[in-house]
Amino acid sequence: MTPLASLLLRDIRLATRAGGSAALALAFFAAVATLVPLGVGADLALLARVAAGVLWVAAVLAALLSLDRLFQADFDDGSLDLIALAPPSLEAIAATKIAAHWLTTGLPLTLLSPLLGLMFGLPPQAIAMLTLSLLIGTPAVSALGAIGAGLTLAIRRGGLILPLLVLPLLAPAVIFGAGAVGAVLDRTSSGALLLLAAFSVAATLLSPFAAAAAVRLNLAG
């Protein structure tokens, strides 16, 4: 097996073991999505109106839950030193860890979202758009989150600072993602999905470099 495939497999295995981050993210996502109708009330028209925004925010927060440990868990137990001395560059390693994070959080959240969309009374086309927008947008969440994870890896309770660093960067994803669903509900056309795709591609391609630089900085500490 190649070095990066081993890393990908190990990170997926750690996330899906008992107590791993994958189930936690899904449970959090479902719990928030269940609480909102209890707070807002049973007005289906209103729920359908706010569904995309609520589910996008819930998905981002659910993904952020496990992001602070992306590098920190390996930093704390010494694994990160060993990983940094392996043949692949730190940039390739960051990209692989981002991919593993997306496969174990972003992708499951996306797959669960149609069910939650149904719960909010979204029409089928809007559900399809919500799922598509999450599929396109969640890689950016993992990727931009990795920058925050790299920056905070040596900080105790860095998990509290990470959302402050990363949430502003993720505002475009939430705006375009929820906007794309809103446009379907209004039966208007919008470029929101294309903008989301452009944002996601740029974030996913550039983040590994920034995350690797942040990790390198912290390995010297």
Partner 1 sequence: MKRAMTEMGPIDSLAVTDLACIRGQRVLFRGLSFRVGAGQVLSLEGPNGAGKTSLLRMIAGFIAPAAGTIAFGAVTEAEARGRHIGWLGHNDAAKSQLSPREVLGFFAGLYRSGVDIASALAEVGLGPLADLPCQYLSAGQKRRLALARPKLSGRPLWLLDEPLAALDAAGKQLAAGLVAAHAKQGGIVLAATHEPLGLACDRLMLGASP
**Total interface residues for partner 1 by CB under 8 A:** 29
Comparing CB distances to partner 1, the nearer of 7 and 59 is 7
User: Which pair of structure tokens corresponds to residue 34?
Assistant: 């269940």
**Measuring CA to CA, which residue among 179, 159, 2, 3 is closest to residue 70?**
159
Region of 37-45, 48-56, 70-78, 188-196 interacting with partner 1 (CB under 8 A): 70-78
d(CA 195, CA 199): 6
**DSSP alpha helix (H) spans, the chain:** 3-16, 21-40, 44-67, 69-76, 79-84, 90-101, 107-119, 124-151, 158-185, 192-219
Q: How far is the CB of 142 from partner 1 (least distance, A)?
A: 21
Q: Is 17 in the site for partner 1 (CB under 8 A)?
A: yes
Q: How far is the CB of 81 from partner 1 (least distance, A)?
A: 5
Residue 45: half-sphere exposure toward Cβ, Cα within 13 Å: 1
d(CA 32, CA 57): 10
Look at the block and give the residue holding tokens 């979204």.
122
Site string for partner 1, 74-113 (x = CB under 8 A): x-xxxx-xxxxxxx-x------------------------
Q: Is 39 in the site for partner 1 (CB under 8 A)?
A: no
Q: How far is the CB of 61 from partner 1 (least distance, A)?
A: 24
Q: Is 45 in the site for partner 1 (CB under 8 A)?
A: no
Q: How far is the CB of 6 from partner 1 (least distance, A)?
A: 3
Which residue ranges make up the site for partner 1 (CB under 8 A)? Answer: 1-3, 5-7, 9-10, 13-14, 17-20, 74, 76-79, 81-87, 89, 219-220
